[in-house]
Chains A and B, each alone.
Chain A
Amino acid sequence: MAETVTADKFIDISNEVCPMSFVLTKLALEELEDGQVLELICGAGEPVRNISIQLKDEGQTIISVKKEGEKHFRLQIKKND
């Protein structure tokens, strides 16, 4: 997860819980074209676990993961239609 690119859209869902985190991520991805990159910040632990599972299930590609302090993760997701 080394490559970090300039994201096309950014959302901060670190204060959201399911299902809002799910819906906001979905809506953000819907605004992007195939191949564009979404960057998001979410909470460590269950939130990042759920986001990761969700994105994998949908066939999205997580291109970079960075831990931000102890409490947050910054993810970059390349949209696959």
Chain B
Amino acid sequence: MSDAKVKPKKAMKISVDHNLDENVKKKIAVSADIQGKNEKGKIDLGSLKSGGFIKQRQKDKFTVRLRCPGGRMPVEKLKQVAESAAKFGGKYVHFTVRQSLEIPYVDYHNFTPLIDELKSVGQDVASCGPRVRVPNACGGCEYNPNGLTDAAKIADIVNEKFFGMRTAHKFKSSFSACPIDCMRSTEADLGLMGAVYPKWTEENCTGCTICASACTEDAIKAHPETGKPIFKADNCVYCADCVRACPTFSWAAEKTGHNLRVGGRHGRHPLGATMVARFLTDEEAITAIEATIKWYQKAGEDKGRIRIGQILREDGQMGSYMKALEAAVGPEKLVKDPAPPTLTYVSR
């Protein structure tokens, strides 16, 4: 499979539905049957501007996608969603692959009452189109024993700070709390993966060899005589299995943080994201995400619908991005000269 650099897409004017522009605040009058009363209602276009209403094959029917950062929905919201879905939707709800809950079969006349009902419990509608999408996350370290970082917290912050920002094309972020990577952070436009750099101290080690047995990466071998670990750092994927399995606490976390990847995507031309920084703190991760979105906004100007990974594969763009990242989080944690995202396959 060829992995040659793609030719830059022919520059074209960015396609923007003017109704989705930031300042649209107009209302249009429609003849609608609102809450059982056959009266003339208004649809507030301002509330539709970030998308999340997806046209169905069926006449006048839309799927309404809800905003569920990190795939969590407080049960109080869930109750209202169930009630509103029964009232305005079809016979089921749909769980999207990106952790959102969708209500299919909503008549567009009912947008406003549905939005109002959902708003009463603080449930927002999600986004679609060329913008920062709802961040995805796993359970994180709160209750998942494998979790090393608080991926759900990062999703909440990203949702709060960056959701809906306009970009050249969609910008999906996904946060895994450990290298098992349930959230497929390597396939996201921006992905974080929880990581621990382990450190061994001999003092309490009894040479029991559990760490060598627990390590699935050939990063730890037990010394044939003493049983004590021989650590091969190059093989380590930073999962912390050794730290957690060691009965005597001889392995500990030297560094804990988020490994940052950019430029992944799936679809017809999937790209594998490239690792650009390691062991970022929560704060550094947020700063890096902001810098990445800003760089993407600028680099994607007048390029039409192009994902960040496609831009990064153009000549010189990887260097330009790394400079922006360095300006945001400093040079220490950056990967040196990372390769651009790689084409994993073409679906044909």
Contacts and interface: CB of A to CB of B under 8 A. Distances in A.
Top 7 A-B residue pairs of the complex, sorted by shortest distance between their CB atoms: A65-B208, A49-B214, A62-B247, A1-B206, A49-B245, A52-B245, A1-B208
Given A48-B245, A65-B206, 8 more contacts: A49-B210, A49-B241, A52-B214, A56-B244, A56-B247, A62-B247, A67-B209, A67-B213
A60 B251 CA distance: 18
A48 B214 contact: yes
A57 B244 CA distance: 9
Interface class of chain B by DSSP = loop
A65 B247 contact: yes
B249 to A, nearest CB: 8
A35 B59 CA distance: 71
A45 B241 CA distance: 10
Interface residues of B, number: 16
A52 B145 contact: no
Interface of B: 145, 206-210, 213-214, 216, 227, 241, 244-248
Given A62-B247, A65-B247, A73 B206 contact: no
A66 to B, nearest CB: 8
A48 B206 contact: no
Interface of A: 1-2, 44-46, 48-49, 52-53, 55-57, 62, 65-67, 73
B245 A53 contact: yes
A65 B264 CA distance: 43
Given A1-B208, A62-B247, A65-B206, A49 B213 contact: yes
A55 B210 CA distance: 13
A65 B206 CA distance: 9
Contacts of B207: 1
A11 to B, nearest CB: 18
Nearest to B207: A1
Contact of A52 (B206, B216, B227, B247): B247
25 contacts: A1-B206, A1-B207, A1-B248, A2-B206, A44-B213, A46-B214, A48-B210, A48-B213, A48-B214, A48-B245, A49-B210, A49-B213, A49-B214, A52-B214, A52-B245, A52-B247, A53-B244, A53-B245, A55-B247, A56-B244, A57-B145, A65-B206, A65-B209, A65-B210, A67-B208
Contacts of B216: 45-46
A73 B209 CA distance: 10
A2 B244 CA distance: 21
Nearest to B243: A53
Nearest to B241: A49
